[in-house]
Amino acid sequence: MCAAAEAARAKYGRAAQFLLVVLPVKATEEYREVKRVSDVVLGVPSQVVTGKAARIGRQNNQDRAGGPVYCANLALKINSKLGGVNVSLSHGPRYLPVLGGARAAPFMILGADVTHPTGPSCKPGVKEPSVAAVVASLDQTLGRWASRVLLQAGRQEVITGMGGATKELLLEFYRANRGAKPQRLVMYRDGVGEAQFEQALAEEFVAMRKACTDLQEDYRPAITFVIVQKRHNTRLLPSDSSAADRKGNVVPGTVVDRGITNSATFDFYLNSHAGVLGTNKPAHYHVLVDEIGFGADGMQLLTYWLCYLYQRTTKSVSYCPPAYYADRAAYRGRQLLIASASAATTTPSAEGADAWFAGIHKDLTNVLYFM
């Protein structure tokens, strides 16, 4: 891959903008190495396809692989990796009173998640780090996103680098919006258990606030901090057929914020997608801080609308894209960490993750390279 990229530079006088890699089958180790070279070494977005899925070299017209749906989905992924926008908020916040309407102050939506070592990495004496990711929107139509991937102590859920990541993402927002500062920040934090809510507020929320004042002493945007939970056993069932879709699930947009929720807190269940198979699992949202003042209806409506803005699909997804993007970015970071460790086994001087994991290439941090 490096040789091919260098050959392209020599022939065309500039660096390659995209790498399309065709593999016979999707082998995990080969896939990780492709992503390590593209995301860490070269800083060029890549797309892996397999011969079977792309129907390369196949003459059987009855084979449905590589058909229009596959190609359309592939195009969505490639476009987003190149910095293109597949779906966005029509007219920005103009028709969204929940965001303040046409003359509203700028806003930024963020997402965050952490992935932890699994399998052999969990054995006593093995100190593999956890991988955290923070993402943020760069425009008012929510089509462009930036991300930061961070390493931290293994099995630690609270993101220790939240302040630094927030500060960097705010600076990216300034540069993308001619120096305008977002006056409202909405954070969707994925994967925090209820026992850690207070710790997340005490450390991550406070770190976000400090990141703002570090940039400018009197800069104090309103922050709404929401926890997104997917790991629960709650299911929503329609009370009658008129409230069900064709699969027998509750229709997208169904919200439950009483009865099965905590009467003392601000939380709700949202079924935001149409299920393909089986019973849908709604996402559970806990609003820990609402300085913006959305209220229940506003928060639920904003969250539901966001679920239609996931760049890899033309339909709504099961939980809000900021958290979804952070989940994917953290997972990609985990795969790159594993690949970097494998590549570093021949380097005697490699000691610890910071020594052999260079991080995401700077040319990719403002595009959805992990899609």
**Residue pLDDT, tens place only, 88-133:** 988 776 667 777 766 778 999 999 999 999 876 555 555 789 999 9
Which residues make Cβ contacts (< 8 Å) with residue 30, sequence separation at least 6? 23
Q: Report the distance separating Cα 139 and Cα 135, nearest Å.
A: 13
Q: Report the distance separating Cα 355 and Cα 215, nearest Å.
A: 30
Q: Is residue 345 part of a domain?
A: yes
Give the lowest-confidence range in 16-25, 48-57, 292-301. 48-57
Give pTM, 2 decimals.
Answer: 0.93
How, if at all, do strands 184-190 and 222-229 pair? Answer: parallel
Whole-number pLDDT of residue 171: 99
Indicate whether 237 and 145 sit together in one domain.
yes
Whole-number pLDDT of residue 350: 32
Indicate whether 205 and 69 sit together in one domain.
no
Q: Report the distance separating Cα 326 and Cα 149, nearest Å.
A: 9
Q: Which residue has the higher pLDDT, 359 or 171?
A: 171
Indicate whether 73 and 104 sit together in one domain.
no
The region that residue 155 occupies, defined by phi over 0 for left and psi between -120 and 50 for alpha, beta otherwise, is left
Indicate whether 75 and 105 sit together in one domain.
no
Rounded to whole angstroms, what are the CA distances from 236 to 296, 314, 323? 19, 24, 22
pLDDT greater than 60 at residue 349: no
Q: How far apart are the first and last CA of the chain?
A: 20
Quote the domain boundaries for residue 67.
Answer: 2-81
pLDDT greater than 90 at residue 354: no
Q: Is residue 213 part of a domain?
A: yes
Indicate whether 189 and 44 sit together in one domain.
no
Is residue 193 helix, strand or coil?
A: coil
DSSP 50-118: EHHHHTTT---TT--TT-HHHHHHHHHHHHHHTT--SS--TTGGGG-GGGT-TTPPPEEEEEEEEE---
Give the lowest-confidence range in 68-82, 281-295, 353-367. 353-367
Whole-number pLDDT of residue 53: 78
Q: Is residue 370 part of a domain?
A: no
Whole-number pLDDT of residue 331: 97
Which of 131, 120, 43 has its CA nearest to residue 331?
131
Which residues pair with residue 255 across a beta bridge? Answer: 270
What is the widest separation between alpha-carbon atoms in the chain?
A: 66
- Find the mean pLDDT for residues 170-180: 97
58-62, 91-95, 264-268: which has the highest mean pLDDT? 264-268
Q: Report the distance separating Cα 131 and Cα 258, nearest Å.
A: 35
Q: Is residue 56 part of a domain?
A: yes
Q: How many residues are present in the chain?
A: 371
Taking only the tens place, the pLDDT of each residue in 10-36 is 999 999 999 999 998 888 999 999 999
Q: Where are the beta strands (DSSP E) in the chain?
A: 19-23, 46-50, 107-115, 130-137, 145-152, 184-190, 222-229, 254-256, 267-271, 283-290
Q: How far is CA 91 from the centre of its chain?
A: 23
Q: Is residue 167 part of a domain?
A: yes
Percent of the chain whose pLDDT exceeds 70: 90
DSSP classification of residue 185: E
- Find the mean pLDDT for residues 246-266: 93
Q: Is residue 279 part of a domain?
A: yes
CATH of the domain at 148: 3.30.420.10
Q: Is residue 132 part of a domain?
A: yes
- Find the mean pLDDT for residues 230-239: 90
Indicate whether 196 and 246 sit together in one domain.
yes
CB 337 within 8 A of CB 131: yes
Which residues pair with residue 131 across a beta bridge? Answer: 115, 151
Domain count for the chain, please give it.
2
| pLDDT band of 58, cuts 50, 70, 90 | low
Taking only the tens place, the pLDDT of each residue in 74-86 is 999 999 999 999 9
The region that residue 139 occupies, defined by phi over 0 for left and psi between -120 and 50 for alpha, beta otherwise, is beta
Indicate whether 293 and 144 sit together in one domain.
yes
pLDDT greater than 90 at residue 344: no
DSSP classification of residue 129: P
Rounded to whole angstroms, what are the CA distances from 274 to 235, 285, 315, 365? 14, 18, 8, 31
DSSP classification of residue 128: P
In one letter, which amino acid is 130? S
In one letter, which amino acid is 270? L
Whole-number pLDDT of residue 247: 85
CB 15 within 8 A of CB 38: no
Q: Residue 289 burial (CB < 10 Å; 0-12/13-18/19+)?
A: middle
Mean per-residue pLDDT over the chain, rounded: 90
Indicate whether 245 and 285 sit together in one domain.
yes
Indicate whether 278 and 306 sit together in one domain.
yes
Whole-number pLDDT of residue 278: 80
pLDDT greater than 70 at residue 271: yes
Whole-number pLDDT of residue 51: 81
Is residue 346 helix, strand or coil?
A: helix
Q: Is residue 89 part of a domain?
A: no
| pLDDT band of 347, cuts 50, 70, 90 | very low
Which of 189, 200, 236, 224 has its CA nearest to residue 330?
189
